[in-house]
Structure 1
Amino acid sequence: MAGRGVLVRGRRGPSCAPGPARICSVAVTKIPLRRFTARALPIDDHDRVLLLHGFDPVRPDQPFWFTIGGAAEGGETLQEAAARELFEEVGIRADVREFTGPYESSVIEFEWSDYAITQDQTFFAIRVGSDAAVSFEHMEQIEKDTTTAYRWWSVAELEGTREVFFPKNLAEILQKITAGEGRA
Structure 2
Amino acid sequence: MISSYSEYKSYLEQDRIALGVRNDHFSSKIKDFLFPNYIWRFEQTLRKLEYYYNCKNSFWSKPTYYYLKYKFRKISIKLGFSIPINVFGPGLAIVHYGTIVVNTNARIGKNCRIHACTNIGASGGTSHAPQIGDNVYIAPGAKIYGKINVANNCAIGANAVVNKSFEETGILIAGNPAKKIKEIDIKKIIKHI
Which interval holds the TM-score relative to the shorter structure?
under 0.3
The structure with higher relative contact order (CA 8 Å, sep 6+) is 1
Taking structure 1 as the reference length, the TM-score comes to 0.22
Greater helix percent: which structure? 2
Structure of higher CA gyration radius? 1
